[in-house]
Amino acid sequence: MWIDGSIDGVDVIPFSVFSDDRGWLAELFRSDEIGLDQFPKMGYLSSTKPGKERGPHEHVSQSDRFGFFHGHYRLYMWDNRKSSATYKHRWVLDVGSENQCMVTIPPGVIHAYKNVGAADAVVLNFPNKLYAGYQKKEKVDEIRHEDIPNSPFILD
């Protein structure tokens, strides 16, 4: 049903990590590297327990910009955009401590991630829309496929 491969519009950018005897620093994003339509409107930090998953879900107009830097995640993405050159593609990436990167996921790309490590893992997200809109007075832009019986969006 799915074609494994990259997905049009999904950007995977390895962190530029600067290390010295104190530790390391990684730039999460720069305004000169992000289009205005992708520029973050908020940010949050999330922890996921071993073996637990978040998603699959998609957004109608929101792009997510995840920062995977700690722990061991398996990220799943499915291109559900009929107008996309990569419609019906599935892309699975191992990200986190050993593949630190920012992943931008555009609207219409269904996504989920699972902590495949032995310890809690942390991810950052800098979406380009406010969750539930200004002052949380709008409907949440999210279609939750994990709540749909027989969903074709399966995490291995």
Query: What are the pLDDT digits (tens) for 62-72?
Result: 999 999 999 99
pLDDT of residue 33: 81
CA 104, 107, 108, 114 torsion-angle sign: positive
Is the model's pLDDT at 34 over the cut of 90?
Answer: no
- What does the CA dihedral 34, 73, 100, 76 come to, rounded to 10 degrees? -40
pLDDT band of 48, cuts 50, 70, 90: very high
Q: Which tens digit of pLDDT belongs to each residue from 64-99?
A: 999 999 999 999 999 999 999 999 999 999 999 999
Cα 42 from chain centroid? Answer: 14
Q: Does the pLDDT value for residue 120 go beyond 90?
A: yes
Q: What is the mean pLDDT of the chain?
A: 94
Q: Is 38 left (phi over 0), alpha (psi -120 to 50) or beta?
A: alpha
Q: What confidence tier does 28 reach under pLDDT thresholds 50, 70, 90? A: confident
> What pLDDT is stored for residue 31 in this prediction?
83
Determine the pLDDT at residue 124. 96
> Does CATH place domain 3-147 in 3.40.630.30?
no
